[in-house]
């Protein structure tokens, strides 16, 4: 394991504080145990790939100076897994204090090891069994996971992973710190503003930001410049946003037109309802999506009801634009938008009780797989959801219709250029917005 420590983590003050408190405990572990306490059984760091979970876990391990048994199930066959896990736990308990470290626990117990959805019950059971059979007050399990929904509740309850630390994507302030951290010892043009860079990297992870600065350096080097200028940074930001390789050729003509119409719909609704949040638009296919509008938004902001409704309208606006510009054709391909919109609407209704408790369904009970709602209540919730989604679609269609001229401009620009940056979007907006 490479030697890292807490100084390798920029930003994330609260999270690092929590980990360094734990570290203090681990360092004085013998004294603590002699008073009759036990270590937390398990610490789970949860967050998107690239937010720094591994670095944080490794820093905690290396700074605690405690023996660490690493579990890497790489090539272990499913049939051997139970024995393998048991042996690893025994290795740890044989000489305490000790830490057991599993990176990407969800790969073991989560969806990715099998098809379909939900936690892999069999794997989870094996893991819990190894953990239970080898319970020991001087051993703590540290794990990272990208998605704790995949892990199943049985792993999360007290006595198993009794400490869960969520690592969100960095906030604006954290991004500034990460940018400072990675720009140490590098030369920048005087005009480069790290604040602006922090603003245009909303929703980027620490790993993305490291990559942006490195790519910018490469770009400057290719052009024989010593200093990184803002253009270099912007270019690498856009590369990450749009993974902008030259895939445009794969878009045939009809496709291109429809995707441009669809994305323009999202863009228009975004400009009407959350102008600051619009970051860029692209019709270059990426993974399963045919194009997309990048939204700059701090994921930490808590949305109010109206903001969530706005998000639903924005999600439906791609379909809305198709209806406005191609009223005679019914395209499929907005499934993801529709399911996202439907999901948000349903959550607003049944989780937040914004529409009254007659539409409320207790999420905690639901997660345990129990049926909480009577058939009647279920129907009430579904009907209300349909009503809300339909209203939002109507609203999205209105927005596109009211801004048809502006939309046409974006469609033709997108067909020409494939991607537009926020700057280009705003230039067109300021020129063609009729208000
Ligand atoms: P994860 O385990 O969440 O996928 P990693 O810990 O592997 O992420 O981090 C990926 C890369 O990004 C590492 O090189 C790491 O140093 C860097 N990184 C991520 N977040 C930060 C941060 N807050 N400060 C410094 N580097 C970071
Ligand atoms: Zn869409």
For residue 119, the model assigns a pLDDT of 44
- Helix pair angle (335-350, 375-402), 10° resolution: 120
pLDDT over 70 at 104, yes or no: yes
Check pocket membership of 53 for ligand 1, CB cut-off 6 A. yes
- pTM of structure: 0.66
The answer to the question of residue 341 being in a domain is yes
For residue 64, the model assigns a pLDDT of 95
Task: Read off the CATH number of the domain in which 79 is found.
Answer: 3.40.50.300
Q: How far is the CA of 121 from the centre of ligand 2 (A)?
A: 34
Pair 62, 200 in one domain: no
For residue 329, the model assigns a pLDDT of 82
Is 60 within 8 Å of 48 (Cβ atoms)?
no
pLDDT over 70 at 250, yes or no: no
Pair 201, 282 in one domain: no
Pair 205, 325 in one domain: no
Pair 181, 288 in one domain: no
The structural domain count of the chain equals: 3
For residue 322, the model assigns a pLDDT of 94
The answer to the question of residue 312 being in a domain is yes
The secondary structure of 115-149, three-state, reads CCCCCCHHHHHHHHHHHHHCCCCCEEEEEEECCHH
Pair 272, 416 in one domain: yes
The answer to the question of residue 261 being in a domain is yes
Nearest ligand 1 atom to alpha carbon 48: 3
32-36, 303-307, 390-394, 427-431: the lowest-pLDDT one: 303-307
Distance CA 251, CA 353 (A): 43
pLDDT over 70 at 434, yes or no: no
Pair 312, 375 in one domain: yes
The answer to the question of residue 410 being in a domain is yes
pLDDT over 80 at 1, yes or no: no
Q: How far is the CA of 200 from the centre of ligand 1 (A)?
A: 19
The pair of three-digit structure tokens given for residue 405, joined into one six-digit string:
């001229």
Nearest ligand 1 atom to alpha carbon 52: 6
Pair 122, 99 in one domain: yes
Pair 160, 183 in one domain: no
Task: Read off the CATH number of the domain in which 406 is found.
Answer: 1.20.58.760
Nearest bound ligand to the CA of residue 165? 1
Residue of 10, 45, 51 with the most ligand 1 atoms within 8 Å of its CB, for mutation:
51
Pair 66, 193 in one domain: no
- Residues ≥6 apart with Cβ < 8 Å to 135: 41
Q: How far is the CA of 233 from the centre of ligand 1 (A)?
A: 19
Pair 257, 215 in one domain: no
Residue of 14, 210, 211 with the most ligand 1 atoms within 8 Å of its CB, for mutation:
210
The answer to the question of residue 1 being in a domain is no
Average pLDDT score over residue span 120-140: 79
The answer to the question of residue 247 being in a domain is no
Pair 64, 136 in one domain: yes
pLDDT over 70 at 253, yes or no: no
Check pocket membership of 10 for ligand 1, CB cut-off 6 A. yes
Task: Read off the CATH number of the domain in which 217 is found.
Answer: 1.10.8.60
- Give per-residue burial for 141-159: e unless 16+ CB within 10 Å, then b: bbbbbbebebbbeebeeee
Among 278, 222, 286, which Cα is nearest to 248's? 286
Using the 3D structure, point to which of 187, 220, 242 is the last residue of a domain: 242
Distance CA 57, CA 43 (A): 9
The answer to the question of residue 291 being in a domain is yes
Residue of 9, 15, 55, 213 with the most ligand 1 atoms within 8 Å of its CB, for mutation:
55
Nearest ligand 1 atom to alpha carbon 58: 6
pLDDT over 60 at 59, yes or no: yes
Pair 128, 26 in one domain: yes
Using the 3D structure, point to which of 121, 137, 166 is the last residue of a domain: 166
The pair of three-digit structure tokens given for residue 338, joined into one six-digit string:
């529709």
For the chain, the average pLDDT equals 84
Domain that holds residue 33: 6-166
111-125, 277-291, 343-357: the lowest-pLDDT one: 111-125
Point out which residues pair with 282 in neighbouring strands. Answer: 292, 419
The answer to the question of residue 248 being in a domain is no
pLDDT over 70 at 277, yes or no: yes
Residue 151: pLDDT band by 50, 70, 90 thresholds? low
Using the 3D structure, point to which of 132, 166, 200 is the last residue of a domain: 166
Distance CA 146, CA 167 (A): 10
């Amino acid at each position: 394991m490479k030697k890292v420590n807490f100084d390798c983590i920029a930003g994330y003050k609260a999270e690092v504080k929590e980990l360094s408190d734990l570290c203090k405990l681990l360092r004085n572990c013998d004294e603590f145990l002699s008073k009759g306490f036990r270590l937390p059984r398990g610490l789970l760091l949860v967050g998107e790939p690239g937010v720094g979970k591994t670095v944080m876990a490794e820093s905690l391990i290396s700074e605690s100076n405690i023996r660490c048994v690493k579990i890497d199930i790489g090539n272990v066959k499913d049939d051997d897994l139970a024995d393998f896990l048991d042996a690893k736990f025994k290795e740890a308990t044989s000489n305490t204090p000790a830490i057991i470290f599993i990176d990407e626990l969800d790969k073991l117990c989560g969806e990715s090891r099998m098809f379909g959805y939900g936690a892999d019950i069999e794997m989870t059971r094996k893991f819990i069994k190894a953990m239970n059979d080898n319970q020991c007050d001087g051993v703590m399990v540290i794990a990272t996971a990208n998605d704790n929904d995949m892990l199943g509740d049985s792993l999360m309850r007290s006595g198993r992973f009794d400490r869960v630390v969520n690592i969100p994507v960095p906030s604006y302030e954290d991004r500034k710190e990460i940018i400072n951290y990675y720009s140490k010892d590098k030369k920048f043009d005087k005009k480069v503003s790290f604040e602006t860079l922090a603003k245009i990297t909303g929703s980027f992870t620490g790993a993305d930001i490291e990559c942006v600065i490195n790519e910018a350096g490469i770009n400057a080097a290719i052009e024989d410049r010593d200093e990184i200028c803002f253009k270099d940074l912007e270019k690498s930001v856009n590369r990450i946003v749009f993974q902008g390789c030259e895939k445009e050729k794969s878009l045939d003509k009809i496709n291109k037109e429809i995707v441009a119409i669809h994305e323009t719909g999202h863009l228009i609704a975004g400009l009407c309802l959350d102008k600051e949040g619009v970051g860029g638009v692209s019709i270059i296919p990426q993974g399963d999506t045919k194009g997309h509008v990048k939204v700059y938004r701090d994921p930490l902001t808590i949305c109010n009801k109206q903001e969530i409704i706005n998000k639903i309208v924005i999600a439906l606006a791609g379909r809305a634009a198709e209806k406005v510009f191609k009223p005679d054709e019914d395209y499929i391909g907005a499934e993801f938008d529709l399911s996202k919109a439907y999901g948000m609407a349903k959550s607003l209704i049944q989780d937040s009780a914004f529409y009254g408790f007659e539409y409320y369904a207790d999420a905690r009970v639901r997660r345990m797989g129990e049926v909480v709602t009577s058939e009647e209540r279920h129907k009430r919730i579904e009907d209300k959801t349909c009503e809300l989604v339909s209203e939002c679609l109507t609203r999205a269609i209105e927005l596109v219709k009211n801004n048809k001229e502006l939309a046409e401009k974006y469609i033709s620009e997108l067909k020409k250029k494939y991607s537009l940056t926020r700057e280009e979007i705003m230039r067109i907006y300021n020129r063609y917005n009729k208000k």
